Amino acid sequence: MSRDVYAEEARRRWGGTEAWRAFEAKGSDPAAAAEGLTALFARLGTLKESDPCSPEAQEAIADLQRYITARFYPCTGEILAGLGEMYAADGRFTAFIDAAGGPGTARFASAAIRAYCATP
């Protein structure tokens, strides 16, 4: 599936939201943004054998949230939790994340995000 198809799907699903307006206003270079995400998921892949609640995993998730906020849109806890669910449930996300960090990285990222979002 091409990046344009993903962009159109995202526009249909979230085009009317404040997050979408913020995303469009940022004007991030999609290739550079994807490269940064790949690096973050590769880092999570090195941690996937550890506890998703470990300080290292939680710091990696905090870095992911900051990256998304800086490059795409304000990544609130609610948005991050939703992304975490999609990482494990949507095969397209899972394939991208597992390609960056190895098999099981998407499941680990999802679990680490769930733990991160549950922390007050």
Spatial CB neighbours of 6, under 8 Å, sequence gap ≥ 6: 92
Over residues 18-67, the pLDDT tens digits come to: 655 666 666 656 667 778 899 999 999 999 999 999 999 999 999 999 99
- Region 90-112: mean pLDDT is 95
Going from N- to C-terminal start, the domains of the chain cover 29-118
Between the alpha carbon of residue 16 and those of residues 12, 69, 102, the distances in Å are: 8, 18, 35
Domain 29-118, second-level architecture: Orthogonal Bundle (1.10)
